[in-house]
Structures are given as structure tokens and as C-alpha cells.
Amino acid sequence: MVPVSATDDLSPADLPRPDRAAELRAALLAADFTADGLLDLLGAPAYAALARSETVPAERATRWPPGGAPPALATLTRLFLLQHAVPRAHAEAVLPLAACLADGWLRQDGDAVRAVVDVRPYGGPAGQDWWIVSDLGCAVGGAAGARRAAAAAGTADAAGAADAAGADLVLGVGGASTTLAGLTVPLDGGRVLDLGTGSGIQALHAGARADSVTATDVNPRALACARLTLALSGAPAADLRAGSLYEPVAGERYDLIVSNPPFVISPGARLTYRDGGMAGDELCRTLVRGAADHLADGGYCQLLANWQHVEDEDWRERVADWVPPGCDAWIVQREVQDVTQYAELWLRDAGDHAEEAGGTPMRAQRAMGDYAARYDAWLDAFAATRTTAVGFGWITLRRTGAAEPAVTVEDWPHPVEQPLGDAVAEHFARQDFLRRTDDAALLATTFRLADDVVQEQVGRPGEEDPEHVVLRRQRGMRRATRADTVAAGFAGACDGTLPAGVILDAVAQVLGEDPAVLRERTPGVVRLLVEQGFLAPAPPGGAG
């Protein structure tokens, strides 16, 4: 373990020093270089396009006539987001230029200046103005973006840039980063570990609520970027530690561990931000397995992961098998890609895709050959492990110490409502309730139907009775479940006034069924409705 405190020199020569980050922040705020300011300047379509790495609309929105002085916000957008050389005088009108040059945020390029890192406005959940620092071209895309940025800046040729900048690139905020941030249980206080901090985005979120944040990364450049992100955003400093996986936090426990790890299942360890360097999905397995030793009682571990779908093996069993003893788990598969789609996605991310290779015909031909060879090697590695597809999803563990932990593994590719942090915490609270409530106690409990539940009737138009009824939640995971007449009637009557058993007796009477049989048969359905949040135990005091 290499602990890195705020006083250590954590400034690789190619990255800025954070000493005067507060001065820079003041200038960015004064120019309204914030998420809201940018949205106003660019308009929603160009703003959204930028988040997809498409810069043309933002280029158009920030052009100004030659000779005129551009607005401060346009200058900063062109400098830090579009990564253009900006006339020195324009930069000087907006930024503490001498300090920015001396501290390495900017570099001189003839009569102009250029950004050394990507500095991207990011709106925090409580309206905070934050900025994320990452490598140029990596704010949204991976190494492919760095390749384009280096070629555009003339610091490397298009084909060589990714490998030259290479292995230790630091990514900005991608879809995975914001997914994890939205999923994170909103603890108040406590100790948080952000494992594989990268740009520091998870540490930034955590720092807004936690008592302390430890952020680790195997890449020292990532730790430097995380420190810059936190300093520039005016967030509390994190305890930054270099090292792999749990190595930097041996013997320590946390109330929350978050990790968007390098989960890509790839043949070889080419790009540190995504290739874990362990075979198959072993890195994710190791993280999940090891979490129990680093979680405080009741603590959560939340991570994004990829897992193999192996011939003649149920992926659910594979991933459930990773869960350490004493932890409840909720594993959600969001997407599955076959091995060809998967290899193409990540070859494109690295800038290996044939379309990415510009330059001379000979270079293009060589790049096509490299692409084919890399693609082939990827498929070889999948074939050798009988992997047919790769699942992507979320894993949340909660250390309960329960002898019989609740492990839920499910496929849920449908749209959800982010942020989901509260819904995640509620899921685990419901598991606690179900574990301590036997069937007799369940029937004696008073439930309330969640406010966001609607009923859909499915059947042929004009038919008197529906083929079936679906109960659907509008919030959170936006769950849907088929319900028979008993379940739908029962759920509809749960208004927090009568115990479940009494409602079932009434439903039995209406349907002409034997109440004893219904009481015997129904607890499983009630459990499912509770587990998925359709029903919640009502607080004492009735419907009120």
C-alpha cells in the first residue's frame, strides 16, 4: 500500500498541481462555466450531443466573428471541452492565466494556450457546481477519444496516440459512472471507500454525505486527477491511496464501498481504466468475494460488473456464487451482449475500429489488419472459456451476518427511474422484514399499497374479462408483476387499516373460496409483493 496524503507530491509532470484550484474555481464560477451555464449557452441538443462525444453542435454554438471578443463561457468551453488552442488574450480575460500556466492546467502553444486536462462542469445532486478532471479526449469516450484529441492537438499522430498516451489514461464521467452514482445508497455520515476512483466522481458524490472518503486506484495518475476534481469542486479532500483492489485498505472496514471497476472481459491488460488484467470475470468476482472483509455491520458494497455467460451454466448461479457468506445480495443484469457485439464495443472504445484509423492508405490497411487480429484474439479467448455472451449489471451487497442471506438475482433490462439509491436501501430493508416475519406474522401484518402502483388489464379488446392483470410501479425499478384475481383484490384492499389475513378472508368470501385454503396458499404471493415493494408494512396508527 502506498498512502498518498494531500501533502505528498501527487502531481505527475503531465498533470496540473491543485495548489491554486480555489482561484481557478472562482474564475470558472464567475464565467458561469457550470452545468447550468453550459446548458444555457449550448442549448439542450448541443449539450446532450457533447455528452455523446459529438462536438460539432457545441462548435457552432461557441463560434465568434474574427476580431471580436468571445463571451467568457464560450472561451472556457472551447478551451476545456472542445480542447482548442485559444488566443492568449481571450484566456487571460477569463482565467488567472499565469497561475494556470505555472500550475500546469494550461500550456502555451505559440500565441495561444491549450488545456492540459479536460475540465468538465458537472451538476451535483443537490445543485452543487462541480468539475470533473480527466485526460484530454477521455471525458466521454475512452482511448479512442484520447487518440482523436492528441491528433487534433498535433501532439501525436492518430494511430500512435492511444498507445502512446496509453495504459494509464484517466477517464471522465461515462454512463457507467453516473449509473453507479445514481444507484449509491444515500448514507448520512460513515466511512466510504471508492475503489478505482479514476477521475474521483464517486468520491465527489460520497464526500457530500460521508464523514470520510478513502479513494484508491492502481493508477497514480488517476489519484492525481481525483485530487484535482475534489479540489476544483471545493469538496472535502479524500484519503488517496495507491494500490490494487483491497490491498490499500487491508484490515479496514467501511459503511459503504462503491466501485466502477475495470470490469471489461478482455484478452490482456491494455488499458488500465477498463481491463482488469485478470482472466474472464475474475476481477469482479474477487471484488465481490473480498467485500465482506471490508464492510462494517450493515454496510453496503455497490459495484458495476460484467460476467460471463458460459455454455451449459446458468449465469445466475455463477454470479450468486460470488456472494460472500453473511451478506445479502441484489444482483441485477441490465444488458447482455453476445461475444461479437462485446468485442466490437471495446475495440471501438480503444479506437481500434477500422473506421478510426485515418492517415495514409498503408496505415489504414495496417490498422485494418491490427483490428482483425485483435478481434480474432478476443473471440479466441471467449471460445477457450466457452463464453457465449457477457452480462452487464449492478451488484449490491449488504453485510447482515444472516445465517441464511437473501440473494436476489434477476434480469431487469427495463427502464428504471434514477436516482435509485433510496430504492436500493428499501430493497434491503424489505429483505430484513421478510427474514424476521414468518407466515403467521405476515398474515397478522397490516400493509399499504405503494402510492405509485397502477393496475393494467391485459386481454383482447371487447372481451368481458381480462386474460390477466398486471400491477405496475411507476417509480424506482418500475416493477411489474402479473397478479391473479386474489392477488389483485388483496393488494387493492391494502390501505393500512386491516391485517393481511382479515383481507384475505374477505377476498375468499367475495370469490366463494375457502378462507383457510387461501390463507395457506397466499403468503408466497404476499412475500413477492412485499419483496418488490408493491406492499409495505403500514406504520402503526392505521390508514390515517
User: Which of 34, 62, 272, 522 is close enough to bind ligand SAM by CB under 6 A?
Assistant: 272
Coil, strand or helix at 215: strand
Nearest CB to ligand SAM, comparing residues 75 and 259: 259
Query: CA 424, 413, 343: angle at the middle one, nearest 5?
Result: 115
User: What is the distance between the alpha carbons of residues 430 and 481, in angstroms, rounded to a whole number?
Assistant: 17
- Shortest approach of ligand SAM to residue 246 CB, angstroms? 9
User: Which of 140, 206, 218, 339 is close enough to bind ligand SAM by CB under 6 A?
Assistant: 218
Nearest CB to ligand SAM, comparing residues 180 and 471: 180
Outline where DSSP puts E strands in 47-190: 86-87, 106-109, 112-115, 118-123, 129-134
Assess contact for 340 and 419: CB atoms under 8 A. no
Q: Would you say the C-alpha torsion 337, 342, 344, 350 has a positive or negative sign?
A: positive
Site membership for ligand SAM, residue 217 (CB under 6 A)? yes
Nearest CB to ligand SAM, comparing residues 261 and 533: 261
User: What is the distance between the alpha carbons of residues 297 and 328, in angstroms, rounded to a whole number?
Assistant: 12
Residues 6+ apart with CB under 8 A from 437: 445
Per-residue cell: 79: 478551451
User: Which of 83, 177, 396, 446 is close enough to bind ligand SAM by CB under 6 A?
Assistant: 177
User: Which of 137, 141, 190, 196 is close enough to bind ligand SAM by CB under 6 A?
Assistant: 196
Site membership for ligand SAM, residue 238 (CB under 6 A)? no
Stretch that binds ligand SAM, among 138-146, 218-226, 327-335, 521-529 (CB under 6 A): 218-226
User: Which of 212, 244, 337, 385 is close enough to bind ligand SAM by CB under 6 A?
Assistant: 244
Site membership for ligand SAM, residue 197 (CB under 6 A)? yes
Site membership for ligand SAM, residue 260 (CB under 6 A)? yes
Stretch that binds ligand SAM, among 121-129, 210-218, 319-327, 351-359 (CB under 6 A): 210-218
Among 174, 171, 224, 153, smallest CA distance to 161 is for: 153
User: Which of 190, 207, 276, 501 is close enough to bind ligand SAM by CB under 6 A?
Assistant: 276
User: Which of 137, 198, 299, 476 is close enough to bind ligand SAM by CB under 6 A?
Assistant: 198
Nearest CB to ligand SAM, comparing residues 259 and 446: 259
- Shortest approach of ligand SAM to residue 209 CB, angstroms? 17
- Shortest approach of ligand SAM to residue 86 CB, angstroms? 27
Stretch that binds ligand SAM, among 48-56, 80-88, 270-278, 458-466 (CB under 6 A): 270-278
- Shortest approach of ligand SAM to residue 341 CB, angstroms? 19
What CA–CA distances, in Å, run from 215 to 205, 219, 226, 257, 276? 12, 12, 8, 10, 17
Beta pairing, strands 212-217 & 191-195: parallel
Coil, strand or helix at 473: strand
User: Which of 70, 190, 261, 421 is close enough to bind ligand SAM by CB under 6 A?
Assistant: 261
Nearest CB to ligand SAM, comparing residues 222 and 526: 222
User: What is the distance between the alpha carbons of residues 38 and 57, in angstroms, rounded to a whole number?
Assistant: 13
**Which residue type is seen at 380?**
D
Nearest CB to ligand SAM, comparing residues 150 and 303: 303
User: What is the distance between the alpha carbons of residues 528 and 522, in angstroms, rounded to a whole number?
Assistant: 10
User: What is the distance between the alpha carbons of residues 129 and 299, in angstroms, rounded to a whole number?
Assistant: 29
Per-residue cell: 337: 451482449
DSSP H/E element including 465: none
Site membership for ligand SAM, residue 165 (CB under 6 A)? no
Assess contact for 543 and 497: CB atoms under 8 A. yes
Positions in the binding site for ligand SAM (CB under 6 A): 171, 177, 180, 195-199, 201-202, 216-219, 222, 244-245, 260-262, 272-274, 276
